[in-house]
Structure 1
Amino acid sequence: MVVLNKIYTRTGDAGETALGNGARVAKHSLRVTAYGTVDEANATVGLARLHASEEIDARLAAIQNDLFDLGADLCRPEMEKDAEAEYPPLRMAASQVARLESEIDAMNDALEPLRSFVLPGGSPLAAHLHLCRTVSRRAERMTVELATLETVNPDAVTYLNRLSDWFFVASRIANDDGREDVLWVPGKNR
């Protein structure tokens, strides 16, 4: 259970923050940047939810919860010490990836195959979902880079990869099942 009764602590005033294992690191460390970008992605999902139908909103709410799980996973380094921890760290699970894949497949079944790349836009929901897609891709890039330097849960990386695909397919659903997609026309304005 998390209890937050004081919002500012002054412990980060010198440019450091605490990870989930208590270690202090620079706020600009790659690990903090990765989970901070996951938090940013979560905020963009909150904006998308303002425009979502009840069904899509419920799926986006589940994604927001997953993104908090992902942040908790990324803020806790040293996976090899998980068994020694007083409280087992929260880690992303393959079942969360499988849920995204199942939802992507179900949404994609309603869509015609693409014949061009899609420009971000269309309906307000689609535009916000494209923003979610690009921020989650950035979080993925940062997490993949972190994984070249430190141990990272592979399910965390896979989740981020599927998540951006989920946002893309959902944006097409939000554009009248792709009929209102804004298509790229190569060289149109030459």
Structure 2
Amino acid sequence: MRIYTRSGDKGKTSLIYGDRVAKNDIRVEAYGTCDEANSAIGLALSHLTREDWTDKDHFLAVMQKIQTILFHVGAELATPKGKDVQWRLKKEHIDDLEKNIDQLDQELTPLKNFILPSGHEASAGLHLARTVVRRAERTAVALEDELDNPLVVSYLNRLSDFLFVAARYVNKHVGGKETLLDPDV
């Protein structure tokens, strides 16, 4: 299989099942933003290779599962309405995110102020991924009438919440410093 096909040289791309659309189509923006978020998560995690904490392997396994699910969410977004999807997002995937949020959050000091994305490189990267997921969510909302699976929007919403907590969790375990928002600046 070639990396380049030249089929997109005129500003069109194929959705799953072969429908051709403009590369600036809202559906392409939605699944492309999921891909961008997935890459941001991967980049953030690449900064954890030198760090060590007792739960690191479990945390990385959770993150890899999330990256895989996010890849599948992108595939759902790339599938035209009414067409079969090989893999479908389920409520249990959202439930898993909520369970993981609760588990990580138990170890964190409750926030009384907003925080700025900061600290360890991995934490800052997870904050970046969170904002990209928020954009994917906004784009998916614009597609809601064209989506067969309404859980896509819910999953992206919960994923951004998870990434916020995960960024704080990483800072705690690798000694990153959270920067509180100074309201008087």
Q: TM-score, normalised by structure 1?
A: 0.87
> Partner of 2:146: helix, strand, or coil?
coil
Matched, 1:75 2:72: no
Aligned residues: 177
Could you tell me which amino acid in structure 2 is paired with residue 127 of structure 1? A
Q: CA RMSD in A?
A: 1.7
Q: Which amino acid aligns with 1:172?
A: R
Q: Which moved more, 1:170-179 or 1:96-105?
A: 170-179
Sort the Cα spacing of 1:173 and 1:15 in 2 relative to 1 into closer, same or farther, 3 A.
Answer: same
- 1:49 paired with 2:45, answer yes
Matched to 2:138, the amino acid is R
Q: Is the 1:129–1:170 Cα contact (8 Å) retained in structure 2? A: yes
Match of 2:92 in 1: 95
Q: Which of 69, 76, 82 is 1:66 aligned to?
A: 69
Task: Give the structure 1 partner of residue 169 of structure 2.
Answer: 173
Q: Structure 2 unaligned runs (5+)?
A: 49-55
Report the counterpart of residue 6 of structure 2 in structure 1: 10
Once residues 119 and 75 of structure 1 are traced to their aligned partners in structure 2, the CA distance between those partners, rounded to angstroms, is 33
Q: Is 2:47–2:121's contact at 8 Å kept on the other side of the alignment?
A: yes
Contact 1:74-1:152 at 8 Å conserved across structures:
no
Q: Is the 8 A contact 1:76 1:89 kept in 2?
A: no
- How many Å separate the matches in 1 of 2:176 and 2:117? 14
- Please give the alpha-carbon distance, in whole angstroms, between the structure 2 residues aligned to 1:100 and 1:151: 21
Percent identity at matched positions? 47
**Other-structure match for 1:19:** 15
Q: In the alignment, residue 12 of structure 1 is paired with which amino acid?
A: G
* TM-score, scaled to structure 2: 0.89
Unaligned regions of 5+ residues in structure 1, if any? Answer: 83-87
Q: Tell me what 1:128 maps to.
A: 125
1:65 Cα deviation from its structure 2 partner: 0.5
Q: Could you tell me how far apart the structure 2 residues matched to 1:116 and 1:26 are?
A: 43
Find 1:153's aligned residue among 101, 126, 149: 149
CA distance in 2 between partners of 1:38 and 1:152 (Å): 17
- Partners of 2:104 and 2:10 in 1: how far apart? 47
Does the CA-based 8 Å contact 1:72-1:91 persist in structure 2? no
The alignment status of 1:162 with 2:158, answered yes or no, reads yes
SS of aligned partner of 1:10: coil
The answer (yes or no) to whether the contact 1:21–1:76 under 8 Å persists in 2 is: yes
Q: Which runs of 4+ in 1 moved over 6 A?
A: none
The Cα shift of 1:164 comes to 0.5
Aligned residue among 96, 102, 105 for 1:108:
105
Q: 163-172 or 88-97: which moved more?
A: 88-97
